[in-house]
Amino acid sequence: MTTKPEPYTNALGWALETPCERCHASGEIWNEAWRLWTTAWEDSGAPFWNETDRETWESEHPMPSGSDLEGCPDCDGSGLRPTEAGRSLVAFLRRHLKATL
């Protein structure tokens, strides 16, 4: 995963890209399976259970495998999304430099 982007110190940077709203510029979002499991765990009253209750619940609701976070699909994990000006600049460069960016 990428690290959270450093804030721009000039207006040009922010004119070209903006923090991703879906991941709040972190580049990561909750894995849906983990989000659902965590919500069910919290809704069950789990913090107040005894050991037997916890083991029973966990046997009926196994923890999802893998990481609880995944790369944000909206910003490809960068934490930033291009603005309209940023997309226009990319289109300009593709047209005039004949390069794939």
Reported pTM: 0.63
Number of structural domains (the chain) is 1
Domain assignment of residue 12, yes or no = no
Predicted pLDDT of residue 44: 81
Up-side HSE of residue 59: CA atoms within 13 Å toward CB? 6
Q: Is 65 left (phi over 0), alpha (psi -120 to 50) or beta?
A: beta
Query: Which residues constitute the domain of residue 41?
Result: 20-97
Domain assignment of residue 3, yes or no = no
DSSP strands (E only) in the chain: 17-19, 28-30, 69-71, 80-82
Predicted pLDDT of residue 78: 92
| Run means of pLDDT, 10 residues per run, the chain, 101 residues | 61 85 94 91 75 83 90 94 91 80 51
